[in-house]
Structure formats: structure tokens, C-alpha cells
Amino acid sequence: MKNKTWLQSVLNIYLIEYALSAILRQKYKNFFILSIFTFLTFLLASVFFITNSIKYELESTLEALPQIIVQKIKAGRQDDMDVSAVDEILSIAGVSDAVARVWGYYYFQNAGVNFTLVGVDEYENQYKNSLEKIVQKFDFNNEENIPSMIVGQGVKENMSRNYYKQYFNFIKSEGTLKKVNIAGVFDADTQLESNDMIVMSKDEVREIFDIQQTKATDIVVKVVNPEEINTIASKIRLMYPECRVITNQDLQVSYQNIFDYKSGIFLALFIVCLFTFFMIVYDKASGLSSEEKREIGILKAIGWRVDDVLKEKFYESFILSFFAYVLGIGFAFAFVYIFQAPLLRNVFIGYSELKTSFELPFVFDTQTLFLVFFLSVPIYVAATILPSWKVATLEADEVIR
């Protein structure tokens, strides 16, 4: 005892070696458990990786979003806002810019999709860098006085599938048609925001949606100091009690809630899997072959204590489950970030005709690794406690006989 170092007393190398060979001796049984367990951790890890990536992607577009949005609410729905409010908001100290936006969703019945129509003014400050670039690059009033528009990649594909290659006929709210030329296609910084977008001049959007010149869809406010966003938002709330004031922080929180909710639901369903697995392991570990019984008998006959057998069984289950955990995490990394998670990502992105195709960005979050660890290894080890104890307390003379 005295010659042992501290490490040796905690970790017994020979026991680990014995545990390893014990696992290998039961090749088929352990391979079966390993593969199921790897698959479970893989599934779990993949789901968390995908949500993390999408959340990251959304949060990076969030930074490009306006800091404060002011919407008018009438009868519980969003209503057009007076453009004159812009000047009043601009008078609040700390506000660097306020822009009245004209935009809306246009339902294209043939394809069954919604386009996002965004109106821009050439001589106005744009609230997004991507729009600024578009305004500089394209001229919306080209020859023949036919208005033109810039469309996103997904919109372009959808239109040409319906034989609108050069132009598109919008149905205005009073029922007549409006022809708009397609002037170009753009890739915005992130495909997630631009795929279903159509950009044209504000006047055209007003005409299509029948919005008066003095009205706008909403107002976005830029604040110089991000620390002041909440104060300015509450000031706007006081000025326009009938309006809804949304800050980008609110959006971020609601994103986190949505994804926590989605992965929470998945996890709740997953619990059933976990407990089924728990039962399988329990069952597998309890059913001892006569060979295994004899093995324990011999070990005890040559002087192993109950504690030693328990320790060896613990090493066995820990090695197996930890190996499965590492494998599962590794597969999940490859599946999500190399193969872009086919099938599984649709659960989170949702299915639509104009579904954005984007790469899942690589996000390394140690907390997720811990989360998956706590959901896998302890549960497996727990399932083996009772069977291991039964094995360890077998009587040597009874089993060898």
C-alpha cells in the first residue's frame, strides 16, 4: 500500500486493462450496445449542433437588423404608420437616424409562395448595408418607363419556373396588373435574409400594396450608442402609446426561446428513447451467461473483493459509454458540418418552396458537449449499477460448482 502513488490508488491500470479485455471478450453483445448508444448520442448531438448553428446564423443577421422597429397596431394587427412620425422620433436625443420603411409580403398564387417586397428610395439613408449596395449598383427607372426590380436567387428561380423570365406581373390590391421588369439578381451577405426578397422603388411598392404617400409600413430607428436602445425605446413608447416598439434585444431573446423550445420538445421526445435504452442495457447486463458467472467466481476465488469487481464493472461501463459518446459526437460533427445534416435540418428550418439554402456555420460550443455528456454517460452507468452489484455479490462457491 505504501509504495503506491496517489494516482495508482485512484486509477488502477491493471483493472482498466482487465475491463478492456472483458469488453472485447463479449464482442457481439458490446458491439450491439455500442452501436445503439453511439447512434443515440449522435442523434442528440446533431440536433443540438444544428440548432446552435442556425441560432448563430440568425444572430449574425440580427446584428444587421435595425435596432428599434416602431409599428402601429390597430385592432390587434399591424397598420400603416404616419411618415411624419419620423421627424418626431429624430428629435429624440441619441437617435442618429430614423427611416420609414415600405415593405410587405406578396403572395404568388401560382407557386404558392410569399415574396418579401422591399421598397427603397435612392436618395435616402438605407437601414441595411446590403440595400445600400443595391441602390448604388442598380438604377430602378430604366428605359421605356417600365419600373424594374432586383430579386433574390430563390425568387428568380420561382419566377422563371412560371415563365416570368424578363418581367413579372404583380396583382395590385384593387385587382389590376402591374408589370415590373427584372433588372437583376442579388446575393446578400447571408442567403437566409435575401432568398425571398424583391427590392424595388418605394413608389412601386406603395402602388402594389396601395399604401398612401403619407404612410409607411413601419419605422426603423438607429441609435448611436447601443447601451441607450432601451431608454430610447421607452421614450418612443411614451410618444406613441398606440405603437409596438421592438428592439433587437427582444428579437434575440425570442430567437433563443424558439430554438430552446424546439430542441426542448425534441429532448422531451428523446427521453422515451433514453429510457428504452436504459431498459435494454439493464436487461443485457443482467442476463449473465454461465461463462461470465464462472469468470466472476474465479475472480472471487483468487481473492477479488466485492469492491474490486464493482470497480472493474464500473470501468467497463464507463469505457464503453465514453467511447460511444466520443464516437457519437464525432459522427455528429461530420454529419452536421461536413454533410450539412441532410433530413434532420428540415425539422428546424421548416419546409417551404422558397427555402433558403445556406451552409450551417461551424459553431463550437463546449456547453453542448457537456449537455450531451450528461444525457448519455451517466444514464448508461446508472443502468449498469444494479446488474453489476448482482454480479459482484455472487457466491464464488455457488458459481464455480
Partner 1 sequence: MILTPEVLTLCILNILFAFFAIIAFVLSVKIFLQWDLNATTQKQYLLEKQSFLAATIIKYIFAIKVPLFLFFIFTLDKISHVLTGAMCAAGVVDATQYGTYLLILKVINLYIFAYWLMLHRADMQDENQPYTKRKFGLFIAAFFLFIAEVVLEGIMFSAIDVDKMVSCCGSLYSSSATSYVSNIFRIDTEVLLFVFYGNFVLIGLFYLLKNKYLFALSNLSFIVSGVITLIAFFGMYIYQLPTHHCPFCFLQNDYYYVGYLIYFLLFIGTFSGIGAGLLPASNTSRNIGYKISLLFNGLYVLLLSLYPLFFYIKNGVWL
Summarize as ranges the residues that interact with partner 1 (CB under 8 A). Answer: 48, 253, 256-257, 260-261, 263-264, 267-268, 271, 274, 306-307, 310, 367, 370-371, 374-375, 378-379, 381-382, 385-386, 388-389, 392-393
**Calpha distance 363→54 (Å, rounded):** 10
Of the pair 171, 251, the CB lying nearest partner 1 is at: 251
Q: Between β-strands 177-186 and 148-152, what pairing exists: parallel, antiparallel or unpaired?
A: parallel
**Integer Rg of the chain from CA:** 31
Do strands 81-82 and 215-216 pair parallel, antiparallel, or not at all (unpaired)?
A: antiparallel
Residue with Cβ nearer partner 1 (354 or 381): 381
- The nearer residue to partner 1, 6 or 123, going by C-beta atoms, is 6
Pairing of strands 197-201, 113-120: parallel
Phi and psi for 394 in degrees, rounded to 5? -60, 150
Query: Shortest gap between Cβ of 397 and partner 1 (angstroms)?
Result: 14
Helix or strand holding residue 103 (H, E): strand 95-108
- 188 vs 233, which CB is nearer to partner 1? 233
DSSP 155: H
CB of 388 to partner 1, least distance (A): 8
Contact 85/70 with Cβ under 8 angstroms?
yes
Measured from the CB atom, the residue of 146 and 271 that comes closer to partner 1 is: 271
Residue 268 CB, shortest distance to partner 1, in Å, is 7
Q: Which is nearer to partner 1, 73 or 386 (CB)?
A: 386
Least separation in angstroms between CB 378 and partner 1: 5
The SS3 of residue 74 is: strand
Smallest separation, CB 246 to partner 1 (Å): 14
Smallest gap from residue 137 Cβ to partner 1 (A)? 38
Q: Map grid coordinates 413608389 to a residue.
A: 203
Q: Which amino acid is at 50?
A: I
